[in-house]
């Protein structure tokens, strides 16, 4: 009976997924719990999640380490595109959900599961991301969503678990924290309003350093490969930069955006490494890319951001945009010098052999070496022809 009802559940260890695990096990499903680590779990947290999963009646528990996959498939292109949703949010959590969904559905297929479950409600973005990925990659697997289908309240879930012998502490934290490689989201009663700011204590990283610190970020073809000359994989450098930047409480903000389901939403976040990396990378691009490369990258970044946020990661247009981004990074190599300060940072400058601000061609506003005064006059006259013709005919 259970073999024919093999089910994989996207398991975070929270109240919603715990309810789903118990409820579905009681209904005769052979439940296999899976968590996907995209940078948000410590080893102790993984161990605790596993222990609790078995208390919920699951047959097996698996934690998939997808930090490198997350970087290679998504974060890399968020850096290449300097992606900030609504010029603010580095897509910390929404980007993670895509990779988590892909890893979960691939695992479900690998063990020949007939069902897949998640604990999303019917009012958020994650239900869309999970369902779309699952339906696209495994249309033969049935999706089960108890919380969404039954419109369960938190209290109803707690009472059900207690009745079934699961008596863990489900006291709701004042702030919901979701941590990953590319940033941490922070939700609370303040983010449910339009006017309130999150208080200092809501953020998981508190100010520890106040003396300014200069750092050097090294990029190779658009990828962050060293911090203060210490080399490593991009994901390890990002983690190290985040540890350093968080001590200055850098990267805090509140994002206001349009959800996939059509309502406005607010979420706080802290993403020290993401914001420092994106801004440093963008500065290096300003020196090493042509104005047309920069212009076309800017609007493609907006499209990439929107499609990723709305769960359209598997559409082939995303691979097309990623190819453009990757091609644009050929000469985006060099050092960026940054000063870290309490709550913010400044970009001091760059050094690159591909720097197009090369003095042998002239110095802006001071000296031209590649053309004569008469050539400049002729260029300006022809450049203005279209406007002159329009104004003379239509004035």
35 and 156 share one domain:
yes
365 and 347 share one domain:
no
- Tell me, rounded to whole angstroms, the distance of Cα 387 from its chain centroid: 44
What's the structural domain count of the chain?
3
**CB-based burial of residue 230 (10 Å sphere; 0-12 exposed, 13-18 middle, 19+ buried)?**
exposed
Q: Does the structure show a pLDDT above 60 at 236?
A: yes
51 and 109 share one domain:
yes
Axis-axis angle for helices 291-309, 272-288 (nearest 10): 150
Q: Residue 187: CB partners within 8 Å, gap ≥ 6?
A: 175, 176, 267, 268
Q: Does the structure show a pLDDT above 50 at 1?
A: no
Work out the pLDDT band at 196, boundaries 50, 70, 90.
very high
18 and 97 share one domain:
yes
* CATH at 104: 3.40.50.620
pTM of the model: 0.92
157 and 186 share one domain:
no
pLDDT in tens, 314-338: 999 999 999 999 999 999 999 999 9
46: tokens are: 């993984």
Q: Does the structure show a pLDDT above 50 at 30?
A: yes
Give the residue-averaged pLDDT of 108-121.
95
Residue 38 belongs to some domain of the structure: yes
Work out the pLDDT band at 372, boundaries 50, 70, 90.
confident
347 and 364 share one domain:
no
340 and 227 share one domain:
yes
Query: What's the distance, Cα to Cα, between the start and end of the chain in Å?
Result: 83
pLDDT of residue 173: 67
191 and 114 share one domain:
no
pLDDT of residue 3: 53
Give the residue-averaged pLDDT of 154-175.
83
Q: Does the structure show a pLDDT above 70 at 39?
A: yes
Residue 305 belongs to some domain of the structure: no
Give the three-class secondary structure for 185.
strand
Residue 326 belongs to some domain of the structure: no
Give the pairing type, strands 213-220 and 334-341.
Answer: antiparallel
218 and 138 share one domain:
no
Q: Does the structure show a pLDDT above 60 at 29?
A: yes
Give the residue-averaged pLDDT of 101-116.
96
Give the residue-averaged pLDDT of 181-190.
93
Residue 389 belongs to some domain of the structure: yes
Could you tell me what percent of the chain has a pLDDT over 90? 81
Distance of alpha carbon 245 from alpha carbon 252, whole angstroms: 11
Nearest to 8 by CA among 117, 120, 101: 117
* 147 neighbors 41 (Cβ within 8 angstroms): no
pLDDT of residue 346: 98
56 and 93 share one domain:
yes
185 and 113 share one domain:
no
* CATH at 212: 3.90.1260.10
**Phi, psi of 62, deg, nearest 5:** -140, 135
| Minimum mean pLDDT range among 31-40, 260-269, 276-285, 362-371 | 362-371
Highest mean pLDDT among 35-44, 140-149, 167-176: 140-149
Give the three-class secondary structure for 313.
coil
Distance of alpha carbon 221 from alpha carbon 327, whole angstroms: 9
Give the pairing type, strands 334-341 and 344-351.
Answer: antiparallel
Give the residue-averaged pLDDT of 57-83.
97
189 and 72 share one domain:
no
Give the three-class secondary structure for 191.
helix
Work out the pLDDT band at 102, boundaries 50, 70, 90.
very high
Angle among Cα 128, 26, 132 to the nearest 5 degrees reads 15
Residue range of the domain that includes 229:
176-289+331-351
| Average pLDDT, rounded, for the chain | 93
Nearest to 119 by CA among 108, 131, 111, 107: 131
**Strand ranges (E), 246-366:** 252-258, 264-270, 334-341, 344-351, 362-363
Helix (H) or strand (E) holding 176: strand 176-180
Give the residue-averaged pLDDT of 143-161.
91
Q: Does the structure show a pLDDT above 80 at 171?
A: no
Distance of alpha carbon 269 from alpha carbon 303, whole angstroms: 22
Q: Does the structure show a pLDDT above 70 at 117?
A: yes
Residue 196 belongs to some domain of the structure: yes
149: tokens are: 């289908």
| Minimum mean pLDDT range among 146-155, 299-308, 328-337 | 146-155
Give the residue-averaged pLDDT of 335-343.
98
């Amino acid at each position: 009976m259970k073999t024919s009802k093999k089910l994989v559940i996207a398991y975070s260890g929270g109240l919603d997924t715990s309810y789903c695990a118990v409820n579905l096990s009681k209904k005769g499903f052979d439940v296999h719990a899976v968590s996907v680590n995209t940078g948000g779990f410590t080893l102790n947290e993984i161990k605790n999640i596993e222990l609790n999963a078995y208390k919920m009646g699951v047959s097996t528990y698996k934690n998939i380490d997808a930090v490198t996959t997350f970087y290679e498939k998504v974060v890399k292109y968020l850096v290449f595109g300097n992606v900030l949703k609504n010029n603010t949010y580095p897509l910390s959590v929404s980007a993670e959900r895509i990779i988590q969904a892909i890893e979960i559905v691939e695992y479900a297929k690998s063990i020949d599961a007939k069902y897949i479950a998640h604990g999303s409600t019917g009012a958020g973005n994650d239900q869309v991301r999970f369902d779309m990925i699952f339906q696209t990659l495994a249309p033969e697997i049935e999706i089960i969503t108890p919380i969404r289908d039954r419109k369960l309240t938190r209290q109803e879930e707690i009472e059900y678990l207690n009745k079934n012998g699961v008596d863990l502490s489900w006291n709701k934290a004042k702030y919901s924290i979701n941590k990953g490689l590319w940033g941490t989201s922070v939700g609370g009663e303040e983010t449910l309003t339009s006017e309130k700011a999150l208080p200092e204590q809501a953020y998981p990283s508190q100010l520890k350093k106040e003396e300014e610190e200069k750092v050097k970020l090294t990029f190779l073809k658009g990828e962050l490969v060293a911090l203060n000359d210490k080399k490593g994989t991009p994901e390890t450098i990002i983690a190290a930069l985040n540890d350093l930047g968080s001590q200055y409480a850098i990267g805090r903000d509140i994002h206001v955006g349009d959800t996939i389901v059509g309502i406005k939403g607010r979420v706080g976040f802290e993403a020290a490494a993401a914001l420092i990396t994106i801004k440093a990378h963008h500065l290096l691009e300003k020196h090493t890319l042509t104005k047309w490369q920069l212009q076309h990258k800017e609007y493609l970044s907006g499209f990439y951001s929107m499609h990723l946020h709305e769960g359209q990661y598997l559409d082939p247009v995303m691979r097309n945009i990623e190819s453009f981004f990757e091609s644009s990074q050929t000469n985006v190599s060099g050092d960026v010098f940054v000063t870290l300060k309490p709550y913010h940072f400044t970009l001091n400058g760059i050094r690159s052999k591909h720097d197009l601000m090369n003095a042998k061609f002239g110095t802006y506003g001071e000296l031209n070496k590649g053309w004569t005064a008469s050539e400049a006059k002729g260029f300006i006259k022809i450049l203005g022809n279209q406007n002159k013709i329009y104004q003379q005919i239509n004035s």
